[in-house]
Amino acid sequence: MKSIHILILWLFFQPVFPQKTTDQFLFRASYTFSYKTDPLQKDFVETDLIYLDIGNNSSKYYSRYTQVRDSNKIAGLKKGLSAYDVVEDNRRFKKGTKTTIYNMDEPGQFHVIEHLVDYYYYDEKRFLPAWTFGAGEKTIAGYACKEAQAIYLGRKWTVYFAPEIPLNKGPWKLWGLPGLIIYAIDSEQLFQFELQGFETLKDQTPVSIENKTQFGKLYKKTTKKDYQKMEALRYRDFMTFTNLFILEGKGEILLSPEQERENERHREKGGTPYIPLEKQE
């Protein structure tokens, strides 16, 4: 019955003139995103609440925790609070990840927004994971699920999808199965997504891709490769990253001789472990 209701809604909101009609988000899947910050960790040490809003031909992946913190920050600044007070007030909300991904059937690409000091965006061509279907079956979050696997964007993923939810989307950049992806884990067990809830949205929100901050500052265009290099530098050599992208040549951080030696030892060891969802090419 659930799949019938979803199909009826899908057909009802399917635009007759797709070139003239704005897509709308009709459904929301919420996931717990669990991940490790060091390959040596035995268990997941961080979690995030992820929303996946799904429309006729697009979806939006984002952190609910980050959304709450950003909204609280904007509200505080509009009230006239100082930057210090805003930061202190935001401590009561859990931190989330900073990635937003629009998965768009037309023109068949991902539009990715990242926040690393500034907001950056890039577009990349989407390709279908080479899924192979396994024999595994599980009931997850009340849905009967089937197993599939694929090597995709540098990692081997095992997922479970629910045929009774006939939507071919999933968390992060995972997609392309005959049912919503309910659960996903990589072979190294560094990342895990698990569905917590699925709902039909009462108010269908038009799909709108933001390109600037609430205060009008435009996002910076980049490429996936350049962004990955910048993100990796942040983990492996934070001092150089700070001088390049935070101070932007307007000064430099002065360290004591002991701090310099400690920073050099840290850099020689490879810096802070860098574990991206997508392995660099």
Confidence at 39, pLDDT banded by 50, 70, 90? very high
Q: Which whole number is the average pLDDT over 221-247?
A: 87
pTM of the model: 0.85
Q: How far is it, in rounded angstroms, from Cα 108 to Cα 222? A: 19
Distance between the two ends of the chain, CA-based, in angstroms?
A: 43
Checking if the pLDDT of 96 tops 70, the result is yes
Share of the chain above pLDDT 70, in %: 83
Checking if the pLDDT of 249 tops 80, the result is no
Domain ranges of the chain: 2-15+26-206, 223-268
In the predicted model, what is the mean pLDDT of the chain?
86
Q: Which whole number is the average pLDDT over 227-243?
A: 88
pLDDT tens across 99-152, in order? 999 999 988 999 999 999 899 999 999 999 999 999 999 999 999 999 999 999
Q: How far is it, in rounded angstroms, from Cα 235 to Cα 270? A: 9
Q: Which whole number is the average pLDDT over 86-99?
A: 90
pLDDT computed for residue 238 by the predictor: 83
Buried b (16+ CB within 10 A) or exposed e, 22-59: ebbbbbbbbbebbbbeeeeeeebeeebbbbbbbbbebb
Tokens of 167: 């939507």
H or E stretch including 221?
strand 220-221
Residue of 100, 110, 96, 117 whose CA lies nearest to 35:
96
Fold of the 2-15+26-206 domain? outer membrane lipoprotein receptor (LolB), chain A (2.50.20)
Q: Which whole number is the average pLDDT over 198-225?
A: 90
Confidence at 252, pLDDT banded by 50, 70, 90? low
